[in-house]
Amino acid sequence: MTTTRQTDEKAMEHELKHTIIKEASIAAVVSALISAAFVFALFGDGRSAPLWGAGGAAVDFLPQTFMLSLMSALIPALTMRRKLAHGKLEAVAGKTWRLPRHPLVRSLLIALLATLAGSPCGTVLLWAIAGPNIDFAVLLVAKMGYGALVATLVAHVSIRTTLAQARD
How is the chain split into domains, by residue range? 4-167
Does the pTM surpass 0.85? The reply is yes
Percentage of the chain lying above the pLDDT 90 cut:
66
CA-CA distance, 156 to 56, in Å (whole number)?
30
Residue with more model confidence, 78 or 93: 78
The crossing angle, in degrees rounded to 10, of helices 57-85 and 136-167 is 30
pLDDT on residue 168: 62
Question: For the residues 12-20, what does the mean pLDDT come to?
Answer: 82
Average pLDDT over the chain, rounded to whole? 89
Residue 17 — pLDDT band, cuts 50, 70, 90?
confident
Query: Residue 16, exposed/middle/buried by CB under 10 A (0-12, 13-18, 19+)?
Result: middle
